């Protein structure tokens, strides 16, 4: 009866909103209204509908997880500052992008490339501090707190870089501007901040920072690829969209796809932590063979990259190989100490499940959107293109995982190994297809 009385007397959803919640909502609505009033003439009906729907969605997600309010306001304000600095000088197409090398804040912090480089450095630093936290004496968790804050700042810099890059693309010339999710460089930035943000949500939900060391490894690996892709391929240069990508479907399909990829990667790294905790007391080397094999696979990645003429690529990936080998060996050698700091198997299992469930939902949406996009672009919903085939394999893999979880109570070692193997399948669908197979999606090859 007491529970019923408390439930009836509890304030309603809107009554629980603080003044900052309403200030945030007002800022979002005003910003969306300004964007609609100024740029509606350049939008088609679908883009207008996306903008109108994005405003209440942003308010809801900010109210659902309150740290996002500060993140969105801070990154939005920084992006507007960057735009204002660019607009102080104009050329034939709009803002003078040469200001990125002349204005202090743009050159070192707020231009898209500067912000993304800061993102890269901060993600590396946060990964290092999460691992320092595992081995630091005492229980104050100072290193892990610093790592968590660095991750938040890195996500913020990634968002600033993305928003400013979007603006910069529109200033290069007519019909060049586009949402920055069109090539591997841009989607790797998207993958990094989405994966990190989902991890931060679970960190806040379960009140533990111990998983950051594992999850940030996959983010740092993506950053390593991003830096290689920038230096060797010059991928950071903004390019016009190829005809196949000149569609409003891209604005929906690609982000939904990478929410799925990010959640699957997060689940795989949590599964790796689960296996480390399970094998903490094992002393027989042959019992650890699967984990050693995993390390060999991770370290073998550089072999798939073709060397450049001057050998620069080979040197870069040789360093990557060495660092990866040291990290994997260090984790296995220190597994007992690491296992002591990890949360219980129930939490690890729950994070794994929730990540796969969210990722599967968005990957399903992305697959449906992709089929609709294909029907518009190529005249058919499905053509068994290699990318489509491997997307189906990924979908079936996680559909089977969830089916076994919900229907058969799948838990423990099998679930963890399955989730970890799923990362290999997902990585091939994301990168391997682009590298080794050709098809309708070959515009994304390395």
Residue 206: C-alpha distances to residues 203, 210, 277, 341, 351 (Å): 6, 10, 18, 14, 9
Confidence of residue 172 (pLDDT cuts 50, 70, 90): confident
pLDDT of residue 419: 94
Q: What is the 3-state secondary structure (H, E, C) of 169-229?
A: HHHHCCCCCCCCCCCHHHHHHHHHHHHHHHHHHHHHHHCCCCCHHHHHHHHHHHHHHHHHH
Question: Do 123 and 205 touch, CB atoms closer than 8 A?
Answer: no
Residue 162 banded pLDDT, cuts 50, 70, 90: very high
Three-state SS at 242: coil
List the structure tokens of 415.
Answer: 């679930």
CB 268 within 8 Å of CB 419? yes
* Predicted pLDDT of residue 326: 78
CA separation for the pair 423, 305 (Å, rounded): 19
Confidence of residue 307 (pLDDT cuts 50, 70, 90): very low
49 or 320: whose pLDDT is higher? 49
Closest CA to 196 of 186, 207, 209: 209
Q: What is the mean pLDDT of the chain?
A: 86
Residue range 11-49, pLDDT digits in tens: 788 888 999 999 999 999 999 999 899 888 878 788 888
Task: Enumerate the domain spans of the chain.
Answer: 18-64, 68-241, 246-275+333-446
pLDDT at residue 316 in the model: 66
pLDDT of res. 207:
93
User: Closest Cα to residue 276, out of 135, 417, 133?
Assistant: 417
Q: Which two tokens stand for residue 255?
A: 């982000």
Selected residue with higher pLDDT from 188 and 294 = 188
Summarised one tens digit per residue, pLDDT across range 223-282 is 988 988 887 777 788 888 887 777 888 888 999 999 999 999 999 999 999 988 887 766
Residue 360 and residue 133: Cα distance in Å, rounded? 32
d(CA 22, CA 49): 23
pLDDT at 317: 65
Closest-CA residue to 177 (of 241, 82, 251): 241
Which position has the higher pLDDT, 354 or 225?
Answer: 354
Bridge partners of 91, per DSSP, are 94
Name beta bridge partners: 94. 91
**What average pLDDT score do residues 419-429 get?**
89
Nearest to 411 by CA among 360, 354, 350: 350
The reported pLDDT for the residue numbered 285 is 64
Picking from 142, 172, 165, 152, the residue whose alpha carbon sits closest to that of residue 71 is 152
Identify which of 236, 228, 226 has the alpha carbon closest to the alpha carbon of residue 314: 228
pLDDT value for 185? 92
pLDDT in tens, 368-388: 999 998 888 778 888 888 888
Please state the pTM of the whole predicted model.
Answer: 0.91
Percent of the chain past pLDDT 90, that is, above it, reads 51
Instruction: Name which of 71, 21, 331 is nearest 196 in CA terms.
Output: 71
Give pLDDT, residue 199: 98
H/E stretch holding 94 reads strand 94-95
């Amino acid at each position: 009866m007491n529970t019923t009385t408390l439930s009836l007397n509890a304030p309603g959803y809107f009554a629980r909103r603080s003044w900052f919640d309403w200030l945030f909502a007002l800022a979002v609505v005003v910003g969306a209204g300004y964007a609609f009033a100024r740029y509606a003439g350049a939008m088609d009906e679908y883009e207008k509908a996306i903008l109108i729907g994005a405003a209440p969605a942003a308010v809801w997600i900010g109210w659902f997880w309150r740290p996002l309010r500060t993140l969105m306001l801070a990154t939005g304000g920084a992006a507007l500052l960057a735009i204002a600095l660019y607009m102080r000088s104009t050329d034939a197409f709009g803002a003078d992008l040469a200001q990125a090398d002349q204005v202090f804040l743009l050159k070192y912090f707020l231009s898209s490339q500067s912000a993304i480089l800061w993102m890269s450095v901060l993600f590396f630093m946060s990964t290092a501090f999460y691992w320092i936290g595992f081995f630091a004496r005492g229980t104050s968790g100072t290193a892990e707190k610093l790592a968590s804050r660095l991750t938040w700042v890195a996500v913020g810099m990634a968002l600033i870089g993305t928003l400013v890059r979007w603006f910069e693309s529109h200033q290069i010339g007519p019909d060049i501007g586009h949402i920055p999710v069109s090539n591997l460089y841009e989607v790797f930035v998207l993958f990094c901040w989405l994966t990190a943000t989902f991890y931060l949500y679970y960190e806040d939900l379960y009140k533990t920072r111990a998983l950051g060391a594992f999850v940030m490894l996959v983010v740092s690996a993506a950053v390593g690829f991003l830096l290689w892709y920038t230096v060797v391929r010059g991928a950071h240069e903004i390019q016009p969209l190829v005809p196949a990508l000149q569609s409003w479907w891209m604005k929906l399909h690609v982000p939904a796809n990478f929410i799925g990829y990010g959640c699957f990667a997060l689940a795989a790294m949590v599964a790796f932590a689960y296996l480390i905790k399970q094998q903490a007391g094992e002393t027989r080397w042959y019992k650890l063979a699967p984990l050693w094999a995993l390390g060999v696979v991770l370290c073998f990645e550089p072999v798939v990259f073709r060397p450049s003429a001057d050998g620069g690529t080979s040197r870069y990936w040789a360093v990557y190989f060495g660092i990866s080998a040291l990290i994997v060996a260090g984790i296995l050698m220190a597994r007992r100490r690491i296992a002591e700091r990890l949360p219980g198997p129930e939490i690890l299992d729950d994070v794994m499940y929730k990540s796969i469930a969210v990722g599967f939902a968005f990957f399903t949406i992305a697959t449906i959107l992709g089929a609709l996009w294909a029907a518009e672009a190529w005249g058919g919903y499905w053509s068994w293109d290699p990318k489509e085939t491997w997307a189906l394999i990924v979908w079936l893999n996680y559909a089977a995982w969830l089916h076994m979880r919900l229907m058969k109570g799948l838990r423990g070692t099998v679930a963890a190994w399955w989730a970890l193997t799923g990362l290999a399948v997902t990585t091939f669908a994301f990168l391997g297809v682009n590298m080794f197979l050709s098809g309708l999606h070959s515009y994304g090859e390395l």
